[in-house]
Structure 1
Amino acid sequence: MKKITFIITLLLLSSNGFGQEEKSLGEKKGVKITYQLLLQEEQKKKDKYILIVNSNNENNSDLYYEVPLVKNNNGELSLPFTPEEQGFTKIRVRNSTGLFGDGKSIIGEQTKLITTNNSILFKIKKGSVLTQETTFKVKKGVKPLVTNSFKKTLKELKDFDLKISPEMLNGDFISSCQEIKVNILFQNSAEKGDYLIQTTNGKQFIWTRKNNTTFIRENSSDFTIIFNKSNNTFNYSTSDGITCVWSKK
């Protein structure tokens, strides 16, 4: 009797282990999508499953994708309402008997970065695993048909044309000229518009915005700083030919 009980227990464990086998759903730009299926309940006409989907960024760098902002009733830009539009990949159970056949999406981490075409960036951190879990039903005895499709283009941050934000401009910088420390603080006022306050060795200088990337020192057009979005540096120059690079610490 003990032997029979042991065999039955072993079979159940083997079956359960097989049910939790992780299977691949695809890969894009080093981001792998896998899933596990667990049979939760056998009903009279249907079988109920638990679906666990994992997204694993195996790259050595973060990846990003953009979600276009939409205008609300007040004419303001906001994120699309449905999670599907915010996700980068969509998982479906094609033969589900319920609404899950329409799919579920995995969503990255929302950032404050906005592109020049009014899209907000979502981040998939390097080495991160994002998980989505849900339940669904299929007809009794039918094997679930799980599929995945990538809905967004995954890219590195440098590949996007970003709007310059205060977060990008603010901070401590080191000048390539004598390694002088420079602190930059973004400000805005009705009188000056957008401007920067530079603090160096206890002295402050005001830089007024000329265009999206260029600032001119207040009361002296001989001094210019240009922000480089690709590497978060300022190029400092004077009318007599002096140039320095301010690199963010």
Structure 2
Amino acid sequence: MKKITTTIILSLLLIMKVSSQDEKQIASKDGVNVSYQIILEEESKKKDKYILIVNYENVSDQDLYYEVQLTKDSEGQLSLPIIPEEKAFTKIKVRNSTGLFGDGQSLIGDATDLITTSNTLLFELKQGDVSSQETTFKVKSGVKPLITNTYLKSIKSIDEFDLKISSKMLNGDYISSCGNLKININSGNSEEDGDYLLQTTNGKQFIWLRSSETTFTRKNNSDYTLTFNKHNNTFTYATSDGITCSWDKN
């Protein structure tokens, strides 16, 4: 009976010890709060083992982003880094862990399909999102873990990045300021024309060939141009004799 009582008391003390590890905010920057929690999992004569739980929360009034550099292989294909830390925006580190290179946990947002003109991929921290990741570490027995945070990337709003124009941006239905015409745009690529736009208006179709990152020229008639504004998703239609119209996306 005494043994059972002792076991119960020890279990209660362990529960109290674990539950007393409160979450602590370690950083707050650009609308994102970073916090951590450590839980003592195991004690020994030489080392104590802890669980490290790290969290971020976007407390701003908008979705936020950071960029990760893509690498290009010999065939021109772009890819993300393999090492997780290189895809993270911040890292919480245990400075006095017994690990060979130190221990900690990186915080990584959600990868998007948005690529900048500098060949970086945007990762997103959605408004109101809370994300948690965890790991384990060891310190010398009886030593208090020393926890620090290091920012690895700058967090910004979407309009602070110079994005490459994608099919998702271009494709869709538009209304022309000239006559309120309904226009459908679909982008494509072919060996003959390279990058192009297919315009459909009142059953008629026109092909526009890309001449720069944001400008297209009508196939077989260079007197007509389309210029895309990626900040407000509109085209400016222009002719050589001075006519201009705005195509606004529905």
TM-score bracket, normalised by the shorter chain, equals 0.7 to 0.9
Q: CA deviation at 1:157?
A: 1.3
Q: Percent identity?
A: 61
Which segment is superposed worse, 9-18 or 188-197? 9-18
Q: CA deviation at 1:65?
A: 1.2
Residue aligning to 1:196: 197
Which segment is superposed worse, 78-87 or 94-103? 94-103
> Matched residues in 2 for 1:53 and 1:100: separation?
19
> Matched residues in 2 for 1:14 and 1:162: separation?
51
Count of aligned pairs: 246
Q: Which amino acid aligns with 1:77?
A: L
Residue aligning to 2:52: 51
Where structure 2 has 5 or more consecutive residues not aligned to the other structure, the ranges are none
Q: Which amino acid aligns with 1:217?
A: R
Q: Residue by residue, what CA displacement relative to the aligned partner does 1:65-86 show, whole Å, maximum 9, x if unpaired? A: 1111223355643222211111
> Matched residues in 2 for 1:9 and 1:46: separation?
21
Corresponding position: 1:118 with 2:105 = no
What's the TM-score once normalised by structure 1's chain length?
0.88
Q: Residue by residue, what CA displacement relative to the aligned partner does 1:126-159 show, whole Å, maximum 9, x if unpaired? A: 1111211111111111111111111001111111
> Matched residues in 1 for 2:55 and 2:101: separation?
17
Residue aligning to 1:154: 155
Which segment is superposed worse, 39-48 or 70-79? 70-79
What's the TM-score once normalised by structure 2's chain length?
0.87
Does structure 2 conserve the Cα–Cα contact (< 8 Å) formed by 1:182 and 1:198? yes
Residue aligning to 1:15: 17
> Matched residues in 2 for 1:108 and 1:9: separation?
37
Distance 1:224 1:152, change over 3 A: same
Does structure 2 conserve the Cα–Cα contact (< 8 Å) formed by 1:93 and 1:100? no
Counterparts of 1:53-202 in structure 2, within 5 Å, are 53-72=54-73, 76-99=77-100, 101-202=102-203
Q: RMSD of the alignment, in Å?
A: 2.5
Where structure 1 has 5 or more consecutive residues not aligned to the other structure, the ranges are none
Distance 1:74 1:178, change over 3 A: closer
